[in-house]
Chain A
């Protein structure tokens, strides 16, 4: 299992829960869930690249 797949699975599971509990209607839930999923992935990738260049 690749690191990216694990990160994607984590983001998807968290996004499902966040989307459902945080918003009140279907459309808002979907939009928020997708947003959370994208943010998890984007932040993970950005942090990964920052850490890649750190010498320690």
Chain B
């Protein structure tokens, strides 16, 4: 029996929901801000921005797939890069200014280096959750 027969037809998400999701990904917090959810935008965006800036401050490393690396070594960079990419424009700005991407042995020797990496990865992953939240609110699936 199809979903139509069961009366469980799901409405397609409106274009605006996709735009809110994209805005939320691009600049953490903006997806909620554009929908007038000020407090939520401040808390969610603030958490992601703080996580990202703290990660960079602690000497964390942003991941990127480099074409020069051999086979599986290149593939290992993909999952953390996807996580880092969750911060949207923050990641892209760092990439443009080459901030946080260099394999700096001085940074790597810092006791907070791994913490920094984790903060940067988690900032991106948290922003994916925020992005989905903004999408759901705009699509009317959440209040």
Contact = CB atoms under 8 A, between A and B. Distances in A.
Interface stretch (B4-12, B75-83, B112-120): B112-120
Given A1-B112, A9-B54, A21-B133, A16 B122 contact: no
Given A6-B112, A10-B119, A10-B122, A16 B47 contact: yes
A20 interface: yes
Given A1-B112, A6-B115, A10-B119, A17 B143 contact: no
B40 A24 contact: no
Interface residues of A, number: 13
B130 interface: yes
A45 interface: no
B132 A20 contact: no
A42 interface: no
Nearest to B129: A21
A14 interface: yes
Interface in A13-40: 13-14, 16-18, 20-21, 24
B50 interface: yes
Contacts of B143: 24
Contacts of B118: 10
Contacts of A20: 40, 43-44, 133
A6 B111 CA distance: 11
A17 B126 contact: yes
Contacts of B119: 10
A6 B59 CA distance: 13
